Every structure is written in structure tokens, then in C-alpha cells.
A and B are shown apart, each in its own frame.
Chain A
Amino acid sequence: MSMALNIPASSALRRMWTDTNTIQKIAFAVGLALLVMAFLGPLVAPHDPDAQSLLARLRPPIGFERANPAYPLGTDELGRDILSRSLHGLRLTLMLAILGALLGLLFGGLLGLLAGVVGGRTDAVIMSAVDTQIAVPFTLIALFTLAIFGSSLQVMVIVLGLAGWEQYARIVRGDVRRLMHLPFIEAARAAGAGPRRIAFTHLLPNIVSPLVVQFTLSLSNIVLLESTLSFLGLGVQPPTATLGSMVGIGRDYMPTAPWIVIVPALLIVLLTFAVQVVGDWLRDSVDVRLRAR
């Protein structure tokens, strides 16, 4: 890539950075720290997350009475290390959320593309599916699906993927229908391009940025959904740690051992906060550029 192309891009990035406020900068830092923790943390975690040591049950974090220096953030009701479990749980929560969001993007995006390009009855069927999904609270669908199909990791990813597909479908369909009337699509059609070629080489590159924004926004919803389901005992099954299930199980020991709950709860709040602020920022900065055009 030549320098001439690089300079405007980097100055645009710098302008986007100077436009951010303090909250957004904090959110970036928090998000980055959490990403590093999620992907490097399990490598440096002091213990196996599922290893029990019944002699060291319910030990508080370092600095409190009865603390055990081998367990910096304390232990849970089975003597498992809270720090190691939180790091592994953070990674699993993030991975499930990203996989789920990708699945939703793929599924919803393709259906939206199909609805927009083909139109007619296909469009009507897909959009009424979208309307139905909007009308029914997703928590209900998730509860029902997990109860029937069990809560393995695969089912969990599929449920999380179904959680946001209708948003992508709506966005893609709307943009496609808007773009279809523009001259460059007509030109492509006149040059003999088929519907598939038009969809993937001419339309798709033009709707990438709203999709990226929607992906980030839906990611925080999906983190929340996963945590909620695991909290209720319907998500990832024990002994595997996710942040939500740690809070859900630890709640029974709260009066005597609040640290079991506090550490993962704090991580969930930080994670949703960071993802949400970044998503909002992304949406605003993409919108500004669209308006300036």
C-alpha cells in the first residue's frame, strides 16, 4: 500500500481519537485490558479453574483474615481459585458472545441480502419472520430452546446467534433496497452481472460499516444474555466457569463469602460497559461521516 493512501487514513483515525471523550477513552482502555486478560490470562492463571481443594474452601482474598496467599482473590465453596475461574470464565463468555454475534451476522445478513435482492414473496416471508422475532421477547425463546435441546456449548452458541439476526436482516434489507435503485447497480446489471454477483461484489462492500456497528452493539446484548442464562442455571453447565454461572452459584454463599460473587459481577459490568461505549462511539462516528457526505 502506498503512503498516499496511508496518510488520510491515519489522520482520520487521529481525528476520531481526538473526538472521543474521557468516558470513551476509559472504555477503550478497559476493553483492551479485558481482551488481554481473556486471551493471555488463562495462560498465566495460577490454578486449574476446576481444581478443587476442600481444605482451602471459602478463603477470602489477600488482605482479609484467613486469606491464603496461594489464592490471591480467594476461593469458592469447593476451594477453587476465584482468579483462575474468573480468567477462564471471562474468556469463555467473550468467545461465546463473539461466536454468537458472528453467527447472527452471517445468518441475518444473508437473509437480509436475499430479501433485498430477490424481493417479492421471499422478502415477505423473511420480513414476517423478522416481525415475529421482534414481537416475542428473546429470553422466552432462549429459555424454551435450552430446556428442549439441553444446554451444551453448541446449543448455547446457536441460541446466542439467533438473538440478534433480525437486526442484521432489517439493516441489510433496508440498505440493499436503497442501493438497488442507484446507477452503479443498474450499470452492473446492464453489463450482465447476475443477482449473486451483484449481491456479493457490488452491494455487500457498501453495507459493511452499518454491519460492523450493529455487530458491536449486539455484542454487549449477547454478553448480557449469556451471563443471564448462565446465572439462571440454564446456560453453560458446571463445573465449567462462565462469569454468569459464577455469580449464580456464588449467590448461595453471599452472606459469608461475598467475594465469590463480586469479582465475576464486576467483570461482567466492566465488559458490558466497555463494549457498549465502543459500540455507541462507532455508531456516532460512522453516522457523522455519513452526514458529512
Chain B
Amino acid sequence: MLTYTLRTLVRMALTFFVIVTLVFFATRLSGNAIDFLAGEGMTQRDREILIRYYELDRSIWDQYLAFLRAFLDGNFGLSFIERRPVIQIVVERLWPSAQLLLSAIGLTLVVALPLGVIAAIWRKHWLGSAAMVVAFLGYAVPNFILAVVMVLVFAYWLNWLPVVGNGTPLHFIMPTLAMSGVLIAALTRFTRNAMLDVLGQDFMRTARAKGLPERAVILRHGLRNASITLLSVIGLQIAGLAASGSVVVESIFAWPGIGDLLVSSAIRRDYPVLQFGVITVAIAVIVINAAIDLAYAWADPRLRHQLKG
């Protein structure tokens, strides 16, 4: 288990390093770095001073090392537009994003797990087909269209729900639904497939044969074993979907989270914010994936024993 943990951590660090490196070289590839670092509207003299100040007259490798060193020191630069340290701007956005993400994941689990189990157990029944139709629609309707249609119906026509910001619990309803749509579709499908795999196993027959009630068989022996497979899927698929979902949904509902920040800084070319925001979200996704990897190894008794031995 210890070597497995170490290996996961090393892989995590490596991915992180690759991302920071790619971000650095992408910014340098795009043209003169000074435009990137300092914005527009400067005289030739100011440019030269800044080029010397940022040591852009040195070789690209020296610059790369300096970039890494600044990064490790926690010095991420100033926003072009707000003129505040980038780290402050990004940190303010983390909690609203986390709130929205948690409520979306909560809703997804509550809806998708039962739907997936139903779809697996009554596979030939209309109930199972209905569950799969829900899953399919969730996949085919992109989250921005779901959001726009909800705004049209619930905000403009019916005037029930607020559109902008995160002030009250009512503000959570539409963004949460818009973000959960794809997640519910994905998790329902995965739950169904994982359950179908488990339902055919020998231990299910044994559980029934020893006289357990069907509920206990399905939930304790079925879903619990399926959940091991689900964990790994949730890590890879759900983290990615949630990250791109929050970018779209937050910018539609002007939710003061990090996704909204990324889109606005990309449109306004506020590169320092964009650069640090992208790295932050990437780190978050990598850490979540690593944590789920470890949880997966710990949750699966077969893997746990193998790793011990």
C-alpha cells in the first residue's frame, strides 16, 4: 500500500510538472512574452525596461528556471485588469465553485444511482428503458442549451427563479440542474453497466440461495461491489465533466466561481489570471483523481491484499 501511494504521488507530481511546463512554453510560443506579461499601451522605452526587468533578454532555459522558481515561491504575478495578485483573485473564487460542484454531485448521486440500479434490474421492463431514455437525453442535450432553455422558461416566462449570482438558495437550483444533466446521464450509464456485470456473478446466486431478502442482495452484495468499479469511473469521467461543466454553467449564470473567472480572463486576455486559473483547476482535478485512485485501492479487498503482499 505504501509503495502504491508513493507511486500515485510521484505520478501526480509528474503530471503537475508537465502541465506547468506546457503552460510556460505555450505562453512563449504565442509571440513576444512582454505583450503577454505587461499588456498594451506602452512606449518603446518602457518595453525595454520591462524586458530587462523580467529578464526576457536571457535564454529561454534561464527564463524557464526562473518561472519555476517564482512558481515555487508562490509568486504568480498580477492581474492585468484588476492589478491585484493573481492568487488572491483565484482563491476568492474557489469556495463558490466548490459549493456549486458539491450540490451538483449530491444531486447526481441521489438521482443517478437509483436510476442506474433500476435500469439494470428491470432491463427488459419499460421502467428500465425509461431510465435509459433519461440517461440518453442527458447526454444529447449539451449543458449550455439546458441552461439557456431553463432560463427562458423558469426566469423569463414563469418568473420563478433568479438568473444571476449565488445570493440565495434559490440561485442554486438552475446552475445545479444544468451542471448535473450530463453527470446524471454518465453516472446512470456507468451504474447500470457495473450492476449488470455484478448481477451475473456467482456470489449473487449464493446470497439468494442462503435466503437473503432481494433488497439486501441487490444493495449489500450488488451495489456495494459495483461501487468499486464506479469509483474509478467517477474519478476520471466525472472530474473532467464537472470541470468543463462548471466553466460553461458558471459563465452563463454569472456564478462567482473559478469557471466564470477562466472564461472572462480568456475573453479579456488577462493572461496571468488565465494561466494560474488553468493550473489551479488542473491541480484540483489531478489531486481528486489521485485521491480516488487511492480510495479505489483501499476499497477493493482483492487489490488491498495484493498490495499488502
Q: Is A7 an interface residue (CB 8 A)?
A: no
Given known contacts A149-B30, A247-B148, A131 and B247 CB-to-CB distance under 8 angstroms: no
Q: Compute how far the CA of A35 lies from the CA of B30 in the bound complex, rounded to whole angstroms.
A: 37
**In whole angstroms, how far apart are the Cα atoms of A258 and B145 in the complex?**
13
Which residues A272-293 have CB closer than 8 A to chain B? 272-273, 276
Question: Do B148 and A254 touch across chains, with their CB atoms under 8 A apart?
Answer: yes
Produce 1/0 per residue, B59-84, CB < 8 A to A: 00000000000000000000000000
CB-CB < 8 A to A147: which residues of B? Answer: 265-267, 269, 271, 274
Cα distance A135–B239 in the bound complex, in angstroms: 9
> Taking A265-B148, A269-B140 as contacts, is the C-beta distance between A137 and B243 under 8 angstroms?
yes
Known interface pairs A228-B248, A269-B145. Does A136 touch B19 (Cβ–Cβ under 8 Å)? yes
- A139's partner among B141, B151, B244, B289 (CB-CB below 8 A) is B244
Tell whether A140 is near chain B: CB-to-CB under 8 Å: yes
Task: Report if B281 contacts A (CB, 8 A).
Answer: yes
Q: B289, A140: Cβ atoms under 8 Å?
A: no
Contacts of A135 in B (CB 8 A): 15, 282, 285-286, 289
Chain A contacts for B281, CB-based, 8 A? 137, 140
Q: For the complex, give the distance between the alpha carbons of A144 and B276 in Å.
A: 11
Q: Which residue of B lies closest to A139 (CB)?
A: B244
Contact of B274 with A144 in the complex, beta carbons under 8 Å: yes
B152 on interface, CB distance cutoff 8 Å: yes
A139 touches B15 (CB 8 A): no
Contacts of A254 in B (CB 8 A): 148, 151-152, 156
List residues of B (275-308) whose CB comes within 8 Å of A's CBs. 275, 278, 281-282, 285-286, 289
Contact check, B15 vs A140: say whether CB atoms are below 8 A apart. Answer: no
Chain B residues near A128 (CB-CB < 8 A): 14, 18
Residues of A within 8 A of B15 (CB): 131-132, 135-136
Residues of the A chain whose Cβ atoms lie less than 8 Å from the Cβ of B140: 269, 272-273, 276
Instruction: Indicate if B89 sits at the interface (CB-CB under 8 A).
Output: no
Given contacts A137-B244, A269-B140, contact A234 B145 (CB under 8 A): no
A159 to B266, CA, bound (A): 15
Check A144–B26 contact: CB distance below 8 A.
yes
Cβ-closest chain A residue relative to B36:
A148
- Chain B window 129-170, contacts with chain A (Cβ cutoff 8 Å), 1 for yes, 0 for no: 000000010011110110011011000100000000000000
Chain A binding site: helix, strand, loop or mixed by DSSP?
A: helix
Q: Cα distance A138–B266 when bound, in Å?
A: 15
CB A273 to nearest CB in B, in angstroms, measures: 4
A290 and B23 CA atoms in complex are apart in Å by 42
Interface residues of A in 128-183 (CB under 8 A from B): 128, 131-132, 134-140, 143-149
Among A132, A148, A227, A261, residue most surrounded by chain B Cβ atoms (within 10 Å): A148
User: Is B262 touching A140 in the complex (CB atoms < 8 A)?
Assistant: yes
Residue in B19, B29, B262 whose CB lies within 8 Å of A143: B262
Residue-wise interface mask of A (238-275) relative to B, using a CB-CB cutoff of 8 A (1 in contact, 0 not): 00000010011001001100100100010011001100
Which residues of the other chain, A, contact B136 by a CB distance below 8 angstroms? 23, 276
User: Which residues on the A side are within 8 Å of B252 (C-beta)?
Assistant: 251
Cβ-based interface call for A207 (8 A) = no
Q: Write out the residue numbers on chain A whose beta carbons fall within 8 Å of the beta carbon of B156.
A: 254-255, 258
Residue among A136, A138, A261 with the most chain B CB within 10 A? A136
Q: How far is the CB of A66 from chain B (nearest CB, A)?
A: 19
Within 8 A of B (CB), among A170-208: none
CB-CB under 8 A from A269, the residues of chain B are 140-142, 145
Quick check: B142 and A228 within 8 Å, CB to CB?
yes
Give the residues from 10 to 65 in chain B that come closer than 8 angstroms, CB to CB, to chain A: 11, 14-15, 18-19, 23, 26-27, 29-30
Q: Is B240 an interface residue (CB 8 A)?
A: yes
Taking the closest CB of chain B, its distance from the CB of A146, in whole angstroms, is 7
Give me 9 other A-B pairs in contact (C-beta within 8 A), A139-B248, A148-B30 excluded. Answer: A140-B247, A143-B247, A143-B278, A144-B26, A146-B266, A234-B263, A244-B144, A261-B148, A276-B139
Q: Enumerate 26 A-B pairs (CB-CB under 8 Å) in ascending A order.
A: A23-B136, A134-B236, A135-B286, A136-B286, A137-B239, A137-B285, A138-B240, A139-B247, A140-B281, A143-B266, A148-B26, A149-B30, A227-B144, A228-B144, A228-B244, A232-B247, A232-B251, A232-B267, A233-B267, A234-B263, A234-B267, A247-B148, A254-B152, A268-B142, A268-B145, A272-B140
Which 9 pairs of residues, A with B, have the shortest CB-CB distance?
A139-B244, A137-B243, A273-B140, A147-B266, A148-B30, A137-B240, A255-B156, A265-B145, A143-B266
